[in-house]
């Protein structure tokens, strides 16, 4: 299990669920991953939930904002560390993206924003202050990777290279669906996520970023999710790196799980 004290710019560093029933989400994810959920007051009287494992922050849960519109579904947002949220939001516009949430402060923890790439997938910007984001990654119950499913990999790749300086390379899948690895710092080393084309069975059509959480057993995790009121979108599936599966929580937010070797 990897403990973190900082993140380089361009690195995924936080993940947060926006949901219509925060109390039930705490029940579900607490039962699913063993998260210890602690409510915290925010400026303006809002309340959010910090999810921890052994005291380390691993994820956030917030109430879905009315500003998202009635058509919005509960969803996970993956955040990438940036030096300046304002500068990155401006750059996102210049590159053809859309700013969904202008930069704002989360108390003293961070300054954040949410943007969408030209294909429509939303991603968060995290300018760390008192909080680096996730203090633990890769272990059971922790974020391990983030994956973009898009209908235009070329357009998305151009956007993220310009915004975060990512290096993106297509990998040999041995005849399977095409896949691209994301690396930080412009170098082809140190995995920072992945990209694929839309079309996985049971998947909606909208481009999206998917968080992956580590589990010791994908099969047992799926069974537990269903016991807790979730549903299986993609059954346990073997890939070269291990086993993956996708789950919809009781409110409708979708995430994936990974069983296999992870970085420290």
- Ordered by start, the domain boundaries in the chain are 2-136, 137-260
Separation of alpha carbons 63 and 188, rounded Å: 38
pLDDT band at 101 (very low <50, low <70, confident <90, very high): very high
> What is the structure's pLDDT at 223?
97
Residue-wise pLDDT for 114-147, tens only, equals 999 999 999 999 999 999 999 999 999 999 999 9
- In the prediction, which pLDDT does 263 show? 76
Mean pLDDT value across the chain: 90
What pLDDT, on a 0 to 100 scale, did the predictor assign at position 9?
Answer: 93
Length of the chain: 264
Position 70 scores a pLDDT of 46
What percent of the chain shows pLDDT beyond 90? Answer: 78
The number of C-alpha atoms within 13 Å of 191 and in the hemisphere containing its C-beta is 16
* Dihedral (CA of 247, 204, 11, 243) sign: positive
CATH 3.10.180.10 fits 2-136, yes or no: yes
Band the pLDDT of 43: cuts 50, 70, 90: low
User: For the structural domain made of 137-260, what CATH number should be given?
Assistant: 3.10.180.10
Give the C-alpha separation, 48 to 37, whole Å: 10
pLDDT at 173: 85
pLDDT, position 73 = 85
Q: Do β-strands 75-81 and 122-128 pair in parallel, antiparallel, or remain unpaired?
A: parallel
Q: Which residue has the higher pLDDT, 172 or 70?
A: 172
Per-residue pLDDT band at 66 (split at 50, 70, 90): very low
At 71, the pLDDT band (50, 70, 90 cuts) reads low
Is residue 88 a contact partner of residue 10, using CB atoms and an 8 Å limit? no
- The model's pLDDT over 193-251, given as tens digits with 9 standing for 90+, comes to 899 998 765 556 689 999 999 999 999 999 999 999 999 999 999 988 899 999 999 99
Q: How far apart are CA 132 and CA 10, in angstroms?
A: 13
The two domains 2-136 and 137-260 share their CATH topology (first three levels equal): yes
Bridge-partner residues for 182, per DSSP?
168
**pTM (two decimals):** 0.93
Is residue 42 over pLDDT 70?
A: no
pLDDT at 14 over 90: yes
Q: What is the predicted pLDDT for the residue at 64?
A: 86
């Amino acid at each position: 299990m990897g403990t973190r004290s900082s993140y380089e710019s361009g690195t995924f560093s936080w993940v947060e669920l926006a949901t219509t029933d925060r109390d039930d989400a705490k029940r579900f994810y607490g039962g699913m991953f063993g998260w210890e959920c602690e409510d915290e007051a925010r400026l303006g009287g809002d309340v959010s939930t910090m999810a921890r494992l052994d005291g380390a922050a691993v994820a956030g849960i917030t109430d879905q904002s009315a500003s998202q519109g009635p058509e919005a579904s509960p969803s996970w947002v993956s955040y990438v560390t940036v030096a300046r949220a304002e500068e990155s939001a401006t750059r996102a516009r210049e590159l053809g993206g859309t700013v969904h949430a202008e930069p704002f402060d989360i108390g003293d923890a961070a300054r954040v924003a949410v943007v969408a790439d030209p294909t429509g997938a939303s991603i968060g910007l995290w300018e760390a202050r008192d909080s680096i984001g996730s203090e633990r990654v890769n272990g059971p119950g922790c974020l391990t990777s983030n994956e973009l499913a898009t209908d235009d990999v070329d357009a998305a790749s151009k956007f993220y290279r310009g915004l975060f300086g990512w290096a993106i390379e297509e990998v040999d899948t041995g005849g399977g669906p095409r896949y691209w690895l994301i690396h930080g710092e412009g170098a082809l080393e140190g995995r920072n996520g992945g990209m694929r084309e839309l079309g996985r069975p049971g998947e909606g059509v909208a481009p999206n970023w998917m968080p992956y959480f580590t589990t010791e057993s994908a099969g047992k995790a799926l069974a537990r999710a269903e016991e807790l009121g979730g549903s299986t979108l993609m059954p346990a599936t073997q890939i070269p790196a291990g086993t993956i599966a996708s789950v919809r929580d009781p409110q409708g937010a979708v995430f994936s799980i990974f069983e296999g070797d992870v970085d420290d």
